Structure 1
């Protein structure tokens, strides 16, 4: 994947130390841990899920199939090439064992709640990344002098788009055309993918509501990224300004945007819509209204420590901010996209109680 393919170009203060290749090798070199605050209940089981080399949608699909659930709610997407820890709440399952072990996914029941989780409901995400690169000393000098809170461009990360073409925003645009009666482009793109939901849409013309939202949000995110990049490249964005950009909806042209919305980002979106006017028709058909997303994010530095030719950096982000995007600002385009990583979950022994294992509930 190339960052510019998803509209990401330009930097705010970086890159600090440009990496010539990806900066992690093992999945546990990039750990993301989701923190939530939900009231205890009795109606639905709450699971803690640990996964690696698997994106959130495929992990949820595997769990739903194994537990025979109607659906599984969650707070947000987590990186595929990482060791990620997140919470899920299965709904209407025929079985809900205390432990589950699937390929690259481990789940443990930790309690019960009375309602499903909502997207963005987590309080924050903590990241711990071990970076390995030749010029690590440059990054070390920067971290020694840096503030405890670093501002960075709030691009939507590649987790929203996927790592290989066709990306989800390309599928999303083709899906919009499908809704307007042009079906050939979507069929052609889907034939190049072999994932479960792509096959579901290709064969049955149906997709889950969560996948439909993914396609919609990826289109909105692509236009958001494109215009944020334009502001950065033209040096029209400043770290002290807390403003938002536009996630387009059908009412984009008919509403008065608040004063805290960056006017130049709005103008950029308008310029692109003048070439893709049909987008608003599709968004109206789907009932998608305009939303806003802050243009700059803040990473709270928790820890940084030099270990020979590597460095461990711990940082905290609010929901909706991407750890890979912050990492890109530090080490550049090539070092922050992970094409693969060596697995760390060799067995269930380090995650499940003694005596528990695959197929044992």
Structure 2
């Protein structure tokens, strides 16, 4: 973060729960969106069973697999879809199909089966399912839901009389950044599908490494900071595939998959087949990402590396004071922006 107009000593008077402020330098301009290169993580995993040697052996074995692959699959993490109520991508899917009413009702009325929300919120959502928006507004404590409900109630129409324009006006009560998050979540869901299908296809052909380029793939190149740059794209041809794979091994090129949008250039070969298969299975077309009813949410799309390089260091292995008889370990690693620490941790914490 950037803080202007204060002296170093002033920071000592700032108290924020679970936050430590440390001065790293001064600049003539503030930190802003687009400046972030990545994030450094130090994460403690607790409740580990086994001897120190056994735990270290497991950690080293997993790290060796990651190194051999060239990194971890660059999935979007679960938080992209909503941790307590994973419907963000479902709302986005409704919007892509032009079903604004469906998007609004999913956001307002969907009740998660795992009871992750309070009884008060669940009862309010039930009222919404029944079309009783006025009573739902009285009971709903969540501010974004209340913003939408206010718009639906103030038109003074029955649920059956509400028009598409009424639902559009209600949806527009949400901040634009939140609206875009729904689209981005659905794009992330589709990307994860493509990535999963590619992994399954290549697992059937053990001769082909996951991080190797195939003819028809689209690769991006490393920028001046050493990170993958989706603006620098090239299609892999038969003539160039060997040279590009040499660049991949040196960390200078990266195979990509699409974050679908209306301007997406689909791959060819195996990758192209997978991309088209996902679109067909979902029943959508690239042109659907140009939203006529909500043009501000239209997305051109981009491409994203299928693998993110990561070096995980085991900083400390010790007794777990919170779980007697168990161990804890501190893992340290860096990820470029847009990649998820939860995806890295899953490789170390999954049961299989």
TM range (shorter): 0.5 to 0.7
Q: Is the 8 A contact 1:46 1:113 kept in 2?
A: no
**1:230 paired residue among 191, 197, 214:** 197
Residue 319 of structure 2 is aligned to residue 310 of structure 1: no
Shift of 1:155: 0.4
For residue 202 of structure 2, give the secondary structure of its aligned residue in structure 1.
coil
Residue 279 of structure 2 is aligned to residue 270 of structure 1: yes
Aligned length: 235
**Corresponding residue for 2:303?**
292
Shift of 1:131: 1.4
- Counterparts of 1:159-308 in structure 2, within 5 Å, are 159-177=79-97, 180=98, 182-192=100-110, 195-204=142-151, 205=170, 206-236=173-203, 238-241=209-212, 242-252=254-264, 255=265, 257=266, 262-273=271-282, 275-277=283-285, 280=288, 282-283=290-291, 285=295, 286-308=297-319
Change in 2 beyond 3 A, CA 1:283/1:302: farther
Q: Deviations over 1:174-194 (max 9, x none)?
A: 3445xx354145224324576
Give the Cα separation in 1 of the matches to 2:28 and 2:144: 28
Q: Which has the higher strand share?
A: 1
Shift of 1:218: 0.4
**1:126 paired residue among 40, 43, 53:** 40
Structure with the greater alpha carbon radius of gyration: 2
Give the alignment's TM-score, normalised by structure 1.
0.54
Give the Cα separation in 2 of the matches to 1:270 and 1:171: 17
Give the Cα separation in 2 of the matches to 1:123 and 1:114: 17
Shift of 1:162: 1.3
Shift of 1:240: 3.5
* Greater RCO, 1 or 2 (C-alpha within 8 Å, sep 6+): 1
Change in 2 beyond 3 A, CA 1:187/1:297: same
Change in 2 beyond 3 A, CA 1:291/1:272: farther
For residue 311 of structure 2, give the secondary structure of its aligned residue in structure 1.
strand
Q: Is the 8 A contact 2:88 2:182 kept in 1?
A: yes
Change in 2 beyond 3 A, CA 1:182/1:310: closer
Change in 2 beyond 3 A, CA 1:228/1:217: same
**Aligned residues: CA RMSD:** 3.7
Residue 295 of structure 2 is aligned to residue 328 of structure 1: no
**Corresponding residue for 1:114?**
29
